[in-house]
Chain A
Amino acid sequence: MKRFFYLILALLLLGCDDKIEDIHRYSRVVSQSKEYPVYLDMSEIGNITVTASMPQESPFKIAFNDNYYFVGDMHKGIHVYEKNSGSVSYLCFIECQYIKDFDLVDNQIFCNNFLDMVVLDVSNPLQANVLHRQENHFNRFTSYKEYWNVPYLEGKGVIVGTQTHVLTGTVTDEKPDLDFTEYDQLYGNLTTKVLPDTWFSSRPEYDKPYIGILKVGTDKIYTYGSYNSWAICTFLSGAFNVIEEDLWSAPMGKYAPPYYYSNVFPVRMFFKDSIIYILSSGYSGDCILYNDDYPLSYHLYFSDFRPLDITYVPTMQAFFVLSGQSVWGAFKNTDPTYTVIGKYIDYNIPTDATSIFLKGNSVITIGNKLSVYIPSENELTLVKDYPDISGTCYSKAEDILAVANTQGLFLYDINNLENINPIP
């Protein structure tokens, strides 16, 4: 009985907990701030015009059709050269701000105008006009690669920065935030026509947006898709069309979709030797290649440098890579199903060349000079240097080599590599 009593007493005491409620009231004079986005007004940047001439400052790519050569000038636009019975003459300049890549389908140029994909009719470059503008086309990365995008708000545009506005007033526990309605009306639609300088470095290809434009086949333009995919664009019968193609797309495309590696972003994309090359940058120098053995792809890794240009020598089953200081060879594994490079060789050729390509059995580099080499597995044998030929980009059509530099566009006859002559 006594035990029972103590048990009941203990239970009663334990049950005697207090119920507590605390309320905090306040009234304070505070300053609160709110950040208002500043949107990009594309009215000036998006204005594509044709001018008589413009200094060629930073040529990065050459494309051509039957009548014209088009030389891309980084962030500026496209210089147009007219073919005149074997030689070329400067025709005009198509201003397209923040251009980073372009390609040509017949008389249509597909290029970026900052984030937009623009299709230009250049059948008569002097009267080039915009056929289509696909807004924000190069800023649609998803999943783990959203950080590749620049800040963008649908319906409002690119967010280039913010303005902070401070409001001072009294807040209470019932109304803890100040009323920014008036500021919202004043600063809710801030715009600027200028992109911040901090978005751009001395090496524009490493800056956002990450642009890759490549003509594949007769009428398809390959660009980076939203995630591990191609965004394949066409402009046919006045209609612009984009198809996303990833590893699971059916039917499979000819070229394996790019794989978006972690902590890496794409720098440059080009098509050479029937291979799509994607140069990328990240924690280590890195290059990813795709060929037509779908979905097979070769991955080249360089820990000490970022590759500038690559060419493939089929007879040697080897890639030749410019590092900016030397030429490297990357030899495929003897087992063709094994896609990891079997052997890397530094040929220790001092060179600052930025372009490399194959002509016959010779490897040619272009930088501050043009050099012709005969490659072997163990060494690159210099055949001849041409100090008078220099350029930052080139295009090759049979025996005609076009090289662009700040002086203009120059054509060379490369039929005989031991005697390369300019075409007047």
Chain B
Amino acid sequence: MAIMKKNYLIILLLVLTPSTFAQSGKVVNLNLEDSVNQSHFKNRKEKGFYSAMQVSFLFGSAQQIDRGSYYYLGPEYLSSMIAPPPPITRNVLAIAPSFTFTNGYMFNEHWAAGAGVGFEVFDHNLFPLFAELRYTVWDHKISPFVTIKGGYSFGSFKARQYDQLYLNWLPYYIYDAELRHYGGFMVHPEIGVKVPLSENSDLLFTAAYRFQKIKSIVRKESDNGQFDEWEHKEDINRLSFGLAIIFR
């Protein structure tokens, strides 16, 4: 729990600090009505730093075991070579919320590049660290844009000991074992529509495909160097829909 709190604090600091810097003391006018009525803004900054905050939901099909059909087989399966019978699995709609924050630099009215961090909730939490390259068609009016994000999502930074552990993958249940989630490579190509809100801000509606590798390891150790270790790897494919706001 203490680790989680620390993570949240780090993320909060990461979000707040560059946001304050990016606005450069200018007043941000989130006047949506104006942006709709006006087709474009004059005197927008075409070069310079920008910050983007994005909230997305990642949709996809994930495997889940039917706990009702699964019964505990006892520790003898852990010490024997006999594999337990496979439980009944089913695919369910998985929705993972994602919060990211990006800082970057606009090279001109079309091209921008940046780096970001985030917090995402899959089966376990992931902390993506990524770079992005952004192309916007028109800067002064409602415009389509394309972004490619790529990087690495971090899982937990150290293993955690559990008295009892229920998993959606082998060994499904284990006691007195440690679990560590590793992240993995991520790619996040995105398209969307940018709506200028003011001289300094834009609202973005995004749709994206997300590819994310993850890895988790459960390890149970006993005397004389004996151990059992289950490695679970997933290539996650998701559709993402989100909303972002950019300050320049």
Contact = CB atoms under 8 A, between A and B. Distances in A.
Interface stretch (A24-32, A191-199, A276-284, A297-305): A24-32
B232 A22 contact: yes
A170 B227 CA distance: 11
B158 interface: no
A17 B238 contact: no
A12 B207 CA distance: 12
B184 to A, nearest CB: 12
A23 interface: yes
B2 interface: no
A24 B226 CA distance: 14
Contacts of A28: 79, 226, 228
A388 interface: no
Interface in A130-180: 170, 176
Contacts of A26: 226-229
B231 interface: yes
B161 to A, nearest CB: 19
B61 A22 contact: no
A18 interface: yes
Contacts of A24: 170-171, 228-231
Interface string B63-98: 100000000000000010100000000010100000
Interface string B152-188: 0000000000000000011100000000000000000
Contacts of A23: 230-233
Nearest to A14: B61
B239 A12 contact: yes
A19 B235 contact: yes
Which secondary structure dominates chain B's binding surface? strand
Contacts of B232: 20-23
B237 A15 contact: yes
A16 interface: yes
A186 interface: no
A24 B81 CA distance: 11
B233 A21 contact: yes
Contacts of A13: 59-61, 93, 239
B234 interface: yes
Interface string A172-212: 00001000000000000000000000000000000000000
A169 to B, nearest CB: 11
A20 B63 contact: yes
A29 B226 contact: yes
Interface in B203-228: 224-228
A22 B234 CA distance: 9
Nearest to A23: B231
Given A12-B239, A27-B226, A28-B226, A18 B170 contact: no
B62 interface: yes
Contact of A25 (B60, B81, B229): B229
B61 A17 contact: yes
Nearest to B224: A29
A12 B93 CA distance: 12
B236 interface: yes
Interface in A1-53: 9, 12-29
Given A24-B230, A29-B226, 8 more contacts: A12-B239, A13-B93, A18-B63, A18-B237, A19-B237, A22-B233, A24-B170, A26-B229
7 contacts: A13-B59, A16-B239, A21-B233, A22-B169, A22-B231, A23-B232, A170-B226
